[in-house]
Structure 1
Amino acid sequence: MSDDSRPPQAGATIAVVIPAAGRGVRLGPGAPKALRTLNGTPMLIHAVRAMAASRAVSLVVVVAPPDGAAEVKTLLDAHALPGGSPAGGTDFLVVPGGDTRQESVRLGLDALPPGIDLVLVHDAARPLVPVDTVDAVIGAVRAGAPAVVPAMPLADTVKQVGPAGEPGAPEPVVATPERALLRAVQTPQGFDRATLVRAHETVTDDVTDDAGMVERLGVPVVVVPGHEEAFKVTRPLDLVLAEAVLARRRANDGF
C-alpha cells in the first residue's frame, strides 16, 4: 500500500460529503430531488441527520446546486435541532456544486479543513440509512481498509444484454452473472482522505460511484453489510416506500 493510502488511526477525524446538486429528473418536475419532502422534512435534512447520528462524524459538507447554496444553508438553519445545528451538534458547511456528481464531490473534498483523515461520501437521495451502517463503514476504514462500501445481496437474477438491433427492439441476453457474487452498492462509502483525493485528481472518466474511482487506482475496496432501508429514492414509488419506513419508525421508536 502506498504512503497516501494508509488507513487513518482509530481517533481519526471524520467528515461526510453529501452531493445534493442533482435535479432528480426521474422524480418528475419540481424541486431538486434532495429538497423533496418526506414526512414534511426535506430528504436532505434526513440525510444530514442520518450521517450526524454517528458520534464519530464531526463535520457534514453539503454540496448544493450551483445557484442554490444560500437556499440550502437557510434550509439547514431552519431545521436546527436543540444541539444548535441540523445535525444535533455536528458542524456543517454548504458549498456550491458542479455540473456532475463527480465534480460536486471534488468540490466538497476541496472544502474540507485540514485534520480530516477519513471521508464518507453519501447520497442525499438515501435519507434513511441507519446509523449502524454508517458506523460499520467507519469501523472498516479505521481497521485498515482504504475504501469501504456498504452493499446488499441481490434478490433478482441479473442478465447482461447486448445492444438491440434498432431502438425499441428486444435486447439479446449475452450472459447471466452468478448472483451470489454480485452486490447492490449503497452509501455512505468510506475512504482514507488522501486515497479519495488522489482518485478525484487521477480519474477523469465518468464513474458512477467514488469506490469505482478508487478501483481505477488499483487500491482495494471492501464491502460491509448494507441495510434494506438505505435504498435510493429515485422514482415516485420510492417516496411512498420511504414514507412507510418513517411511519414504522414513528410507531416503533417515536422517531
Structure 2
Amino acid sequence: MSDESRQYRTAAVIPAAGRGVRLGPGAPKALRALNGTPMLIHAVRAMAASRAVSLVVVVAPPEGAPEVKRLLDAYELPGRTPGSSLGSTDYLVVPGGDTRQESVRLGLDALPEDIGVVLVHDAARPLVPVETVDAVIEAVRDGAPAVVPALPLADTVKEVEPAAKGEPEPVVATPERARLRAVQTPQGFERDTLLRAHETVALAGEGATDDAGMVERLGAPVVVVPGHEEAFKVTRPLDLVLAEAVLARRRANDGF
C-alpha cells in the first residue's frame, strides 16, 4: 500500500476496560444498558457510522475480552456486509491494561500497518454524532498532528487550592472563560505522532487520561474543532437519564 493510502486509512480505538464506579455497583460502565443496548455498542456504532473509519478496536477489561467479543457479535453493527469490503468496517477486541494509558497503547499495538489516522474515543460518550467524528478525521487529514472536539464553557471556572473533603477551598484564580474549552472525544491523531507520545510519556500513577495532553508534552501542535452537546460523557446516574432523552428525541425525529 502506498504512503498516501496509509495516510488516509482511519481506525478508532475505544478503551473500555474501566469499571466506572461513579455509576454505582454492577457491570463496568461501558456495558451499562442505554435504551436496552450497552453503551459500548452505541459508542462502536458511532465510530463505525463514519465512512472514513475502516477499523474499530475495542480494548476490553483484561479478563473480559471474550465476553466483549461475544457482545459485539450479538449486535448489528455498521459495515458488516457479507461478501463485500467496499465501505465496510472491521471490528477487533483486545485485552486492556490496568490504566487507560496502558489500554490505549495496547489498542495502538493491535493496529495494522496501513492505518495512518487514529481516533481515540471514550466508550462513555456513546452519542457523539457522525458529523463530529468526520470533522476530527478531516482536520487530521488536512495536516493537524492532533485534533480534539471541544465546546465553549457555559460556567465561570475557578482555580482553587484543594482542601480536605468538605472543607472550604480558597480561590486562587479565575481563568478567562473565553479562552477555555471543554474537551470531548473522539480525539484524532496522526498515527506516528500518537505512537511517539505513548513511547515518550512515562506511565505514572493512574496514567494519562487525555491523549492530546500527551501529544502537547511532545511540543506538537494540537487544534480544536467544534464539539457537540450530545457528545457528553455518561459518568453519573443523571447522565443516563439525559442520554435516554437524547435517544428518545432521535427516534422521534429521525427514526434512529
TM-score (norm 1): 0.93
The 1:135/1:47 distance shift into structure 2, 3 A limit, reads same
Q: Structure 1 vs Structure 2: percent identity of aligned residues?
A: 83
Partner residue in 1 for 2:26 = 30
Partner residue in 1 for 2:231 = 230
Corresponding pairs, count: 246
Secondary structure, counterpart of 2:168 in structure 1: coil
Shift of 1:175: 0.3
> Residues 188-207 of structure 1: matches in 2 within 5 Å?
188-204=186-202, 205=204, 206-207=207-208
Secondary structure, counterpart of 1:214 in structure 2: helix
Contact 2:100 2:208 in 1 (8 A): no
Partner residue in 2 for 1:105 = 104
Shift of 1:168: 2.7
Partner residue in 1 for 2:251 = 250
TM-score (norm 2): 0.93
Deviations 1:117-151 (A, max 9, x none): 00000000000000000000001001110000000
Contact 1:8 1:192 in 2 (8 A): no
Deviations 1:161-219 (A, max 9, x none): 0132x543100001000000000000000000000000001001432200000000000
Partner residue in 2 for 1:4 = none
Q: How far apart, in 2, do the equivalents of 1:144 and 1:177 lie? A: 30
Partner residue in 1 for 2:84 = none
Q: How far apart, in 1, do the equivalents of 2:96 and 2:221 lie? A: 28
Secondary structure, counterpart of 1:116 in structure 2: coil
The 1:83/1:210 distance shift into structure 2, 3 A limit, reads closer
Structure 2: where are the runs of 5+ without partners? 82-86
Amino acid at match of 1:183: R
Contact 2:6 2:115 in 1 (8 A): no
Structure 1: where are the runs of 5+ without partners? 1-6
Contact 1:10 1:142 in 2 (8 A): no
> Residues 142-181 of structure 1: matches in 2 within 5 Å?
142-164=141-163, 166-181=164-179
RMSD between superposed Cα atoms in Å: 1.7
Amino acid at match of 1:220: P
Q: How far apart, in 2, do the equivalents of 1:83 and 1:122 lie? A: 19
> Residues 12-161 of structure 1: matches in 2 within 5 Å?
12-81=8-77, 83-84=79-80, 89-161=88-160
Q: How far apart, in 2, do the equivalents of 1:37 and 1:221 lie? A: 34
The 1:150/1:9 distance shift into structure 2, 3 A limit, reads farther
